[in-house]
Amino acid sequence: MNAVAAAPRARWVPAAWLALVAGWICLLVPGMPLARTIGLVLVAVAIVLALMAIVRGGMRAGLAPLLAALLVSPLVYFGAGMWRGGPVEGAGDASTRALGTSPSMTGPATARPAPVVTAPPAPRPDIAMRTTVTAVEFSGAYVDGAAAGDKQFKGQRLLLAGMVDRLDPDAAGGPVVTFNAGELAPVQALGLARDTAASLRVGQQVILACDGAAAVGGKPTVEHCKLAQ
């Protein structure tokens, strides 16, 4: 039993830590907006992997990387933003001393514009105070029937994390994105904008912010969704 329980931990937890550390490194790279975007994606992937470790190996299996992703990542993100925007004090004086010259010897001083310090973006209120759940957990709640799942999730505002298994961006009632839930029933997400649904791809790990959950046609379903990244 111990070997069986350790297998999910050995599989998911190191991958979560690897993605998380790589994401932090990308967030700290100066002067590269693309690196910051990649860093945020890697942190989101780390959260998904930590949640998978919890699902497969119990709460203690992925709790450490999940807490690190949720608590340390904002500090890294905001701290890196403030560090990039701040001036390097004393750089001009140090270079003058190194050359053995004074400002009067190097000609008239040229006025330099003051650096613009951009305040870090505030957390998006539309994804705050939501219940985070994986597609596997969400589908598992409906194993005992629609009533059991609805009792736990109906009408809740969720952050749903999972892997895209199927895309129907031009469905009659609007785009439908289907998440893989392993051996359980797939989860369908409704309400995405058509251009957003069309930008996704099968096999992609995504997190959606959804404002409703229920069983629709016997299928576990989340509604009024949009990308959370």
**Residue 95 counted as domain residue:** no
Instruction: Judge whether 110 lies within some domain.
Output: no
Question: Does residue 115 fall inside a structural domain?
Answer: no
pLDDT for res 134: 92
What global pTM score does this model have?
0.43
Question: Do 136 and 192 sit in the same domain of this protein?
Answer: yes
List the domain range (segments joined by +) for residue 39: 2-86
Q: What is the tally of structural domains in the chain?
A: 2
Q: In this predicted structure, what is the pLDDT of residue 218?
A: 79
Contact criterion met (CB below 8 Å) for 190 and 224: yes
Q: Is the residue at 121 inside a domain? A: no
Query: Is 175 in contact with 192 (CB distance < 8 Å)?
Result: yes
Domain annotation covers residue 117: no
One domain, residues 64 and 137? no
Q: Do 207 and 161 touch, CB atoms closer than 8 A?
A: yes
Contact 136, 52 (CB under 8 A): yes
Give, for all 229 residues of the chain, the pLDDT tens digit.
444 444 555 567 787 778 778 877 877 777 667 777 887 888 888 788 778 777 777 666 677 777 777 778 787 777 766 665 544 344 444 444 444 444 444 455 556 665 555 554 444 555 556 788 999 999 998 988 888 888 888 888 889 999 999 998 777 778 999 999 888 999 999 989 888 888 999 999 999 999 888 888 778 999 989 988 6
C-alpha angle 57-16-162 in degrees, rounded to nearest 5: 75
The CATH number of the domain holding residue 215 is 2.40.50.140
Instruction: Give pLDDT, residue 138.
Output: 92
Examine the fold and report which residue of 86, 104, 139 is the final residue of a domain before the chain moves on: 86
For residue 129, what pLDDT is reported? Answer: 66
In a domain, residue 204? The reply is yes
CA atoms within 13 A on the CB side of 33: 0
Q: Do the domain assignments include residue 181?
A: yes
Same domain assignment for residues 82 and 139: no
* 97 within domain boundaries: no
Same domain, 67 and 6: yes
